[in-house]
Structure 1
């Protein structure tokens, strides 16, 4: 394992053309907000005390666990005080890289596919399999940090090797774990929002849909997710809007398709969240 930890970077935008990899260790890290990004994330947990929330599912992590997170999933680590430092390797991969090297017989995106049967974000492998994954990530970290001849080719080969390893584990069913359900009500509300984000949504309407008081729903949702129902709906709509904008759709079409009542509201929410207007985002 490379012995140089990196300073934790709060940014959620990639600088690299294909991937970025980080090796973090923290003893006093503040809360990390519920968030999403436009790339795929592999999170290799090494130590500390962390629960990880992905779209309402709570995973109680053990050292050696892998989390696979797609661009469509809101997620957040819940970091608990612990005598051991919080250690992890975080790998970001651009969708274009996965699609570029996938073939008719080999989809590198498969391991991240939230629509596959029995999808779960958690991969809990046997010690021998963990070691194989760790060795590949260690070497990718080392090669990324060098400027030696052939670095770019070797890093690309290591990344592809790692992705093939991951997809083989998923296809073999090795180590995949069912999530630990934190709240069945929250799970159902999140699924409903995911299916109906383009339609009018409100706390009153959701409470009526699930036959609970809006006060109970508001409290329970915030307890599990760490954000209000309204904030979650806004984040989900913005996440989908960003994905739609990257396909070339015009902002004037996207805001309606994502459930915003008017363009002005969409514009304000988008700029507040991402620091640029929808039109500016399409030009970057």
Structure 2
């Protein structure tokens, strides 16, 4: 059971601080916003788009609205975290043609470089900026909302600076299964096509049973779970652009509309038509 210590919510910005005494795994999901996840304590592995991050206290995880992620707990240790959900509209007034505040959040390769390690979080004082946002959130003064936003923008600029520092050297610091990376890229580029284990086996020269094993081990998802989530995420974008539901189903690789309907409702909680209306 979660013990919520602090919460702040507005149209485009939400701030949370929660504690769970006996955590359960968090199933595959994504958000319709960006998330900054500040890990305080617990024993978990954070899976994002094919990468597994074993977290240490004060690590910061960043995900955008296109990245599937899940959390697997390695033990029932007390789990404490803070997180911020926000939409780009929240800081639109701070964006300029010369500087994109969300550059690294938006332009990373999916699942790559989602973690800022505790060392950099502390060195660049992101923890202090987070504390200042929390303090402003508790105030009821007329200027508190503006103060929160200004500090948050400062935090995003600091995050950009950290990633810019990583830019020329961090590739060698992480070990990736390049075959899994290639398979993920193939799936994301071919969602409208038939994708089966036999096809992946033939294309990537890997036994399909072994592929299932290493895919789940590397990503935290089964192959078909990943494909389904990606297809439904793409379908939601097409529906919002005005594409009819039947055409959308075909555009994301479903020849049978009833299968698409069940998958879409199972993941989003809405029928395709109701999703567009809502």
State the TM-score, normalizing by the size of structure 1.
0.83
Matched, 1:53 2:47: yes
* Residue correspondence of structure 1 range 86-125 to structure 2 within 5 A: 86-115=79-108, 119-124=112-117
Q: Which moved more, 1:229-238 or 1:156-165?
A: 156-165
Deviation at 1:34, TM superposition (A): 1.4
- For 2:111 and 2:209, locate their aligned partners in 1 and report how far apart those are by CA, in whole Å: 32
Distance in structure 2 (CA, Å) of the matches to 1:198 and 1:67: 30
In the alignment, which residue of structure 2 is the partner of 1:147? 140
Structure 1 outlier segments of 4+, above 6 Å: none
Please list every run of 5 or more consecutive structure 2 residues that lacks an aligned counterpart in the other structure: none
SS state at 2:125 partner: helix
SS in 2 for 1:240: helix
How many residue pairs get aligned? The number is 275
Within the alignment, does 1:79 sit opposite 2:60 as a pair?
no
In the alignment, the residues of structure 1 paired with residue 244 and residue 96 of structure 2 have an alpha-carbon distance, to the nearest angstrom, of 30
Distance 2:15 2:275 in 1: 25
**Bigger proportion of residues as helix:** 2
Q: Secondary structure at the match of 1:172?
A: helix
Alpha carbons of structure 1 residues 206 and 117: separation in structure 2 relative to 1, 3 Å:
closer
> Could you tell me which residue of structure 1 aligns to residue 17 of structure 2?
23
1:75, CA displacement in angstroms? 0.9
CA change 1:136–1:7 in 2 (3 A) is closer
CA distance in 2, matches of 1:42, 1:174: 20
1:6 is aligned, of 4, 11, 26, to 4
Counterpart of 2:236 in 1: which secondary structure?
helix
Gaps of 5+ in 1: none
Residue-by-residue CA offset, 1:162-182 (whole Å, 9 max, x unaligned): 222222222233898557446
Q: Deviations over 1:151-208 (max 9, x none)?
A: 3222222222222222222223389855744644433322221121121111221122
Alignment partner of 1:257 is 2:251? yes
Q: CA deviation at 1:261?
A: 1.9
Equivalent-residue separation in structure 1 for 2:9 and 2:110 (angstroms): 33
Q: What is the alpha-carbon distance in structure 1 between the residues aligned to residue 206 and residue 121 of structure 2? A: 47
8 Å contact from structure 2 (residues 35, 83) kept in 1: yes
Q: 1:7 to 1:241 in 2, by over 3 A?
A: farther
Query: Match of 1:219, SS?
Result: helix
Give the TM-score normalised by structure 2. 0.85
Name the SS for the 1:227 alignment partner.
coil
Report if the CA contact (8 A) 2:60-2:121 is conserved. Answer: no
Structure 1 range deviating more: 101-110 or 139-148 = 139-148
Contact 2:15–2:83, Cα closer than 8 Å, also in 1: yes
Q: Could you tell me how far apart the structure 1 residues matched to 2:269 and 2:73 are?
A: 27
